[in-house]
Amino acid sequence: MSLNFFKNPRRYVYYFFTVYILMIFFWWWFMIFRKDSQMYRIKEQLLYERFEKDDSNIFNELELLTDFHERQRWMIIGEGATFLILIVLGIWKLRDSVKKEVGLVGMERNFLLSITHELKSPLVSAQLNLQTLSSRTLTLEQQKMLIHNTEEDIVRLNDLVEKILLASRIGHKNYAAQFDEVNISDLILSCFDTVKNRNIGLDLQQLIEEDIWVNGDELMLKSMVLNLLENAVKYAPKNTPIVISLRKEENMAVLDVADDGIRISDKEKSKIFDRFYRVGNEGKRTTIGVGLGLFIVRQVILMHHGNVKIIDKNKIGKIFRVEIPYIGAL
């Protein structure tokens, strides 16, 4: 119990003040009832003293006094219940706000941990490659391999920086996308080839209908597709297919990215598109990433008046489905 307190003292402080406020409220409510009853008894006593010699009208006065006392009691009950509801709602809203704030702090802490690792790893790798190139006599084949590895580290760093900058721009209220007619079929095929070339041996498959056009920001849409593909590459088991498909369905261009990775629970589905959110413990994580990819995906889709959702496949795996209005659909 004591260890739990030191791990999260704010929770216990919150509960302490909640109980204290409710106890004070009920105490004052009880005191008001008590004072009202006392006042009724005093008025009743004064009424008996007033009509001590002539009690012909005392029953009418007592009836009026009793009616007034009953109305007073119901007024206290009504106002007290209203204040109680307001207090409970306020406590509940405060709890939600604190919970969200604590969750955001946790996600930002995880982001700092992951971004530190993601920035440091390629930098250290590139530094070691360059030191090896400069300090040893290597064969031409070894030199090419080290240079290739260094280029990959630089590309990884560049992608990470671009992702952070894009997430920052999208999150800014004054950011305005540059919309134009975009052949999303060609754009997806280009992204497909990029990811395929980066991951030699990956079972990446495509089923893309040709000449589907949308009104959108080409750079944003490209980032959205790359993030979906990279997410599938990170979490899909080895030697399992990743299938990206595009088709027209009613008035929408429907993009599916399907993999055989672990399914996402319904609870996580509501959070996975949040900024910095990543499933699992950051300290035990083995996959790369900083929790911005799917956030970018959702923001891009919202900017294009579409929607994105996660669908469980029939047997194993999941599908990220994106729907965007295509040109000529309306």
Residues 6+ apart with CB under 8 A from 266: none
At residue 77, the 3 state secondary structure works out as helix
pLDDT at 285 over 60: no
pLDDT digits (tens, 9 = 90+) for 253-262: 999 999 888 8
Q: How confident is the model at residue 5 (pLDDT cuts 50, 70, 90)?
A: very low
Architecture of domain 110-171: Orthogonal Bundle (1.10)
What single-letter amino acid sits at 269?
Answer: K
pLDDT interval class at 1 (50, 70, 90): very low
Residues whose CB falls within 8 Å of the CB of residue 235, separated by 6 or more in sequence, listed in order:
259, 261, 262, 287
Q: What is the pLDDT of residues 191-232, one digit of tens each?
A: 898 888 888 778 888 899 998 999 988 888 988 898 899 888
d(CA 142, CA 153) in angstroms, rounded, equals 17
- List b or e across 297-324, with b for residues whose CB sees 16 or more CB atoms inside 10 angstroms: bbbbbebbebebebeeeeeebbbbbbbb
- CATH number for the domain whose boundaries are 180-325: 3.30.565.10
pTM: 0.60
Contact 272, 103 (CB under 8 A): no
Residues 318 and 263: beta-carbon distance below 8 Å: yes
Q: For residue range 168-188, list pLDDT tens digits in order.
A: 777 666 666 788 899 999 999
Domain coordinates in residue numbering, the chain? 2-106, 110-171, 180-325
- Other CB atoms within 10 A of residue 135 CB: 8
Provide the pLDDT for residue 74.
86
Q: Look at residue 3 and tell me whether its pLDDT is greater than 50.
A: no
What's at 316, amino acid-wise? I
Q: Which single residue is written with the structure tokens 């944003």?
A: 220
Q: How confident is the model at residue 330 (pLDDT cuts 50, 70, 90)?
A: very low
State the number of CA atoms in the 13 A half-sphere of 300 facing the CB.
Answer: 27
Q: Residue 50 corresponds to which tokens in the numbers above?
A: 């007033």
Residues 43-58 have a mean pLDDT of 70
